[in-house]
Amino acid sequence: MAGFQEILGHEQIIEHFKNAITMDKVSHAYILNGPDLSGKRMLAEAFAMTLQCEKKGTEPCMECHSCKQAIGRNQPDIIYLQHEKPNTISVDDIRTQINNDIVVKPYSSPYKIYIIDEAEKMNVQAQNALLKTIEEPPKYAIILLLTTNAETFLPTILSRCIRLDLKVVSDEKIKAYLMQKYEIPDYKADVCVAFAQGNVGKAVKLAESDDFNEIKNAAIQLIKRLDDIELYEMTAAIKQIGEYKLQINDYFDFIMIWYRDVLLYKATADANKLIFKEEIYDIKKEAAKSSYSGIEEILKALEKAKVRLNANVNFDLVIELLLLTIKEN
Ligand SMILES: [Zn+2]
């Protein structure tokens, strides 16, 4: 856990939280809405930590007993909802961990703060159970709902929470942050930023990844070879990609960046704007022989492949369709 000052971007949300603290107008329920890895959890934890801090400032002091417990994630009055079923937060989860627990006064802090991550997984019954608590919460209670999709909440939940939507963080900011904090070279930072698309957590994950170069090289090698791969060699190519099954979204993202570069070069003939600058020779070649619509088909096919894999369509089949589309275009 860290304080607000460690968080990159999200200035308006931080401002909102700090104002609420200074003006003593902290609400009983908040929704933090934004994509995976966008920073919801960091924001929620910084807020919770600040509220519980013994120094009572607008940043956690990081030194008092409460802050130390929070850093170790064992502050007894900052409670994380656990759910047993991976895809559902059930009415029982809400009843036992929140409704029955919230009536017990805080153990050692001014507030009792509940963090419900992946709150979109609450089914309707669970939401209705939670609603009862949100309607008449004890004075000391604060509920933080973190979600990738606030639209799944009942209107009655939405109307009783303060909703804060996370915005994308600018590329420049993320790049400077990565270069300074993770000491990665300019070129690598560009690639991370290009595929994080404003999502700091995603950029950091990539910057920290040891596999970064390996996946990137594998993906680019494949693209460059693809034209020469005969149909009967396809199975071998698919098997090779299968080695990156667990990082397949990253693998796809590298291919996507490569084709975006091709598209950009085709439109501008400017090598300075490319992410994969060192690939200029092959990007130029590809740009010369591909049409705009062909490249767009490939980019679309990559998106489609991601969606299909998320929906658990057979891996080999998805990859084969993708490779064929790339070959055809
Ligand atoms: Zn403190």
Q: What is the CATH number of the domain that holds 154?
A: 3.40.50.300
Confirm whether 81 is domain-assigned.
yes
Mean of pLDDT values over 2-28: 95
Angle between helix axes 171-181 and 200-208 (nearest 10 degrees) is 30
Mean of pLDDT values over 263-272: 93
Q: What angle do CA 157, 47, 75 make, to 5 degrees?
A: 100
Question: Under DSSP, is residue 209 helix (H, G, I), strand (E, B) or coil?
Answer: coil
Residues 253 and 126 occupy one common structural domain: no
How remote is the CA of residue 62 from the centroid of ligand 1, in Å? 5
How remote is the CA of residue 53 from the centroid of ligand 1, in Å? 4
Q: What is the pLDDT of residue 307?
A: 92
Residues 141 and 250 occupy one common structural domain: no
Domain of 279, CATH number, reads 1.20.272
Residues 9 and 155 occupy one common structural domain: yes
Strands 141-147 and 112-116: parallel
Q: What is the pLDDT of residue 250?
A: 85
How remote is the CA of residue 110 from the centroid of ligand 1, in Å? 12
How remote is the CA of residue 45 from the centroid of ligand 1, in Å? 13
Q: What is the pLDDT of residue 293?
A: 95
Confirm whether 201 is domain-assigned.
no
Question: Under DSSP, is residue 79 helix (H, G, I), strand (E, B) or coil?
Answer: strand
How remote is the CA of residue 60 from the centroid of ligand 1, in Å? 5
Angle between helix axes 186-196 and 200-208 (nearest 10 degrees) is 140
Contact 56, 96 (CB under 8 A): no
How remote is the CA of residue 176 from the centroid of ligand 1, in Å? 29
Question: pLDDT tens-digit profile of 85-138?
Answer: 888 999 999 999 999 999 999 999 999 999 999 999 999 999 999 999 999 999
SS3 letters for 14-64? HHHHHHHHHCCCCCCEEEEECCCCCCHHHHHHHHHHHHHCCCCCCCCCCCC
Q: What is the pLDDT of residue 249?
A: 86
Contact 17, 164 (CB under 8 A): no
Question: Under DSSP, is residue 317 helix (H, G, I), strand (E, B) or coil?
Answer: helix
How remote is the CA of residue 43 from the centroid of ligand 1, in Å? 16
Q: What's the domain count of the chain?
A: 2
Q: Is the pLDDT of residue 210 over 80?
A: no
Confirm whether 172 is domain-assigned.
no
How remote is the CA of residue 104 from the centroid of ligand 1, in Å? 23
The percentage of the chain sitting over the pLDDT mark of 90, rounded to a whole number, equals: 78
How remote is the CA of residue 69 from the centroid of ligand 1, in Å? 9
Nearest one of 131, 137, 96, 109 to 48, comparing CA atoms: 109
Q: What is the pLDDT of residue 65?
A: 97
Q: Is the pLDDT of residue 287 over 90?
A: yes
Last residue of a domain, one of 112, 136, 165: 165
Q: What angle do CA 59, 118, 172 make, to 5 degrees?
A: 55
Confirm whether 195 is domain-assigned.
no
How remote is the CA of residue 52 from the centroid of ligand 1, in Å? 7
How remote is the CA of residue 65 from the centroid of ligand 1, in Å? 7
Question: Under DSSP, is residue 89 helix (H, G, I), strand (E, B) or coil?
Answer: strand
Residue that is written with structure tokens 């001014």 in the block: 110
Model confidence at 195, pLDDT cuts 50, 70, 90, reads: confident
Residues 124 and 231 occupy one common structural domain: no
Which residue range is the domain that position 154 belongs to? 4-165
Confirm whether 28 is domain-assigned.
yes
Residues 319 and 255 occupy one common structural domain: yes
Residues 296 and 241 occupy one common structural domain: yes
Confirm whether 189 is domain-assigned.
no
How remote is the CA of residue 57 from the centroid of ligand 1, in Å? 8
Q: What is the pLDDT of residue 117?
A: 97
Q: What is the pLDDT of residue 18?
A: 97
How remote is the CA of residue 168 from the centroid of ligand 1, in Å? 29
Residues 18 and 124 occupy one common structural domain: yes
Residue that is written with structure tokens 């130029």 in the block: 284
How remote is the CA of residue 71 from the centroid of ligand 1, in Å? 10
Cα 44 from Cα 4, distance rounded (Å)? 10
Confirm whether 176 is domain-assigned.
no
Last residue of a domain, one of 165, 184, 218: 165
How remote is the CA of residue 44 from the centroid of ligand 1, in Å? 16
Q: Is the pLDDT of residue 304 over 80?
A: yes
Reported in sequence order, the residue ranges of the chain that DSSP labels E, i.e. its strands, are 29-33, 78-80, 112-116, 141-147, 162-165
Cα 187 from Cα 165, distance rounded (Å)? 31
How remote is the CA of residue 24 from the centroid of ligand 1, in Å? 18
Q: Is the pLDDT of residue 263 over 90?
A: yes
How remote is the CA of residue 114 from the centroid of ligand 1, in Å? 18
Model confidence at 186, pLDDT cuts 50, 70, 90, reads: confident
Residues, CB-to-ion distance under 5 Å, ligand 1: 53, 61, 64, 67
Model pTM score: 0.77
Report the half-sphere exposure of 72 (CA within 13 A, side-chain side).
9
Nearest one of 119, 268, 237, 252 to 195, comparing CA atoms: 252
8-state DSSP, 87: T
8-state DSSP, 107: S
pLDDT mean across residues, the chain: 93
How remote is the CA of residue 97 from the centroid of ligand 1, in Å? 26
Mean of pLDDT values over 241-255: 90
How remote is the CA of residue 76 from the centroid of ligand 1, in Å? 14
How remote is the CA of residue 165 from the centroid of ligand 1, in Å? 27
Confirm whether 39 is domain-assigned.
yes
Residues 140 and 227 occupy one common structural domain: no
How remote is the CA of residue 105 from the centroid of ligand 1, in Å? 20
Residues 305 and 249 occupy one common structural domain: yes
How remote is the CA of residue 78 from the centroid of ligand 1, in Å? 14
Last residue of a domain, one of 111, 138, 165: 165
Residues 22 and 88 occupy one common structural domain: yes
| The two three-digit tokens of residue 208, written as one number | 């920290």
Residues 221 and 296 occupy one common structural domain: yes
Residues 230 and 111 occupy one common structural domain: no
Mean of pLDDT values over 20-41: 96
Residue with the bigger pLDDT between 206 and 96: it is 96
